[in-house]
């Protein structure tokens, strides 16, 4: 089965599912992710969490994975990073067709400045032979604020402000960390933000609506 034919949906869900588990595209994805890492041997297992196919306005297959990161290639898992792989037939064989836009480049630079990219040297890749592009969290052009919400220092400041608004008292930023979590039924940017006294979940679609109450819960 040809890649472009499978992406067209001509072979139904079986054909699309085959692209997600076929050794060739999966192996190519692993090689590309290894090249993005500062040490290729740090790449561990890929866990498919969600996939979505659309026909309009253009054909697109999106797959979302959690990638295990190994400690110095020892086989011991040191962490997990969320990635998104997107395939479009119109990208097939076109070098630069899915290249990084200036906006994405600026966002990636911000991730680097905040020290959130490691152990990845780069967070985007283009694979013309597979009509695919790859993005590594917290890079998400659809939700630029994910970068700031992944920055422990920035989130600590947000938690402190939220706490002050509900429990006025002196204090600086709080010690905390955040990590992406899988969401259903569709992949939306979501974080688990944990502080010393608790944790809260933030979903991108409602972040502006419930950010204050959720952060206050985590910071109390």
Same domain? 59 vs 12: yes
In this predicted model, which residue has the larger pLDDT, 30 or 196? Answer: 30
Do residue 89 and residue 152 come from a single domain? no
Looking at the structure, tell me whether residues 25 and 129 fall in a common domain: yes
Of 136 and 4, which is predicted with more confidence? 136
State the Cα torsion 140-145-150-153 to the nearest 10°: 150
Is residue 59 domain-shared with residue 152, that is, in the same domain? no
Q: Which of 104, 136, 168 is at the close of a domain?
A: 136
Are residue 208 and residue 113 in the same domain, yes or no? Answer: no
**pLDDT score, position 88:** 84
Are residues 170 and 112 part of one domain?
A: no
Q: How many whole angstroms separate alpha carbon 75 and alpha carbon 68?
A: 10
Residue of 49, 18, 46, 52 lying closest to 32 (CA atoms): 46
Q: What is the pLDDT of residues 156-176, one digit of tens each?
A: 777 777 667 666 555 554 555
Q: What is the pLDDT of residue 115?
A: 92
Select from 111, 136, 161 the last residue of a domain: 136
- At 194 the three-state DSSP class reads strand
Do 127 and 159 fall within a single domain? no
In a domain, 44, yes or no: yes
Tens-digit pLDDT profile for residues 65-89: 999 999 876 678 888 999 999 988 7
Would you say residue 70 lies in a domain?
Answer: yes
Q: Domain containing 182: what range?
A: 146-219
In a shared domain, residues 98 and 31: yes
In percent, how much of the chain has pLDDT > 90? 26
Do 15 and 115 fall within a single domain? Answer: yes
Residue 200 resides in a domain = yes
With contact defined as beta carbons under 8 Å apart, do 217 and 162 qualify? no
pLDDT of residue 163: 66
Last residue of a domain, one of 103, 136, 169: 136
Residue 94 maps to a domain: yes
pLDDT in tens, 109-139: 999 999 999 999 999 988 887 788 899 999 9
How many domains in the chain? 2
Instruction: Say yes or no: 132 and 157 in one domain.
Output: no
Q: Residue 173 sits in a domain of what CATH number? A: 3.30.160
Domain co-membership, 151 together with 130: no
List the one residue out of 132, 135, 176, 185 whose CA is nearest residue 153.
176
* Statement to judge: residues 103 and 123 lie in one domain: yes
Whether 38 is covered by a domain: the verdict is yes
Would 141 be classed as within a structural domain? no
């Amino acid at each position: 089965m040809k890649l472009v034919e499978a992406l067209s949906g001509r072979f139904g869900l079986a054909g699309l599912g085959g692209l997600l588990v076929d050794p060739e595209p999966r192996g190519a994805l692993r090689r590309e992710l290894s090249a993005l890492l500062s040490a290729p041997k740090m790449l561990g297992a890929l866990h498919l969490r969600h996939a979505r196919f659309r026909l309009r306005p253009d054909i697109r297959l999106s797959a979302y994975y959690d990638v295990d990161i190994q400690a110095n290639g020892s086989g011991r898992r040191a962490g997990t990073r969320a990635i998104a792989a997107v395939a479009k037939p119109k990208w097939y064989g076109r070098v630069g067709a899915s290249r990084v836009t200036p906006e994405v480049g600026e966002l990636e630079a911000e991730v680097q400045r905040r020290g959130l990219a490691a152990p990845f040297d780069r967070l985007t890749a283009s694979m013309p032979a597979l009509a695919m592009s790859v993005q590594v969290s917290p890079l998400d052009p659809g939700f630029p604020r994910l970068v700031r919400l992944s920055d422990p220092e920035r989130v600590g400041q947000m938690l402190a402000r939220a706490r002050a608004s509900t429990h006025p008292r002196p204090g600086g930023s709080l010690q905390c960390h955040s990590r992406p979590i899988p969401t259903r039924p569709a992949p939306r940017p979501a974080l688990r933000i944990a502080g010393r006294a608790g944790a809260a979940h933030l979903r991108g679609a409602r972040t502006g609506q419930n950010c204050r109450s959720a952060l206050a819960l985590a910071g109390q």
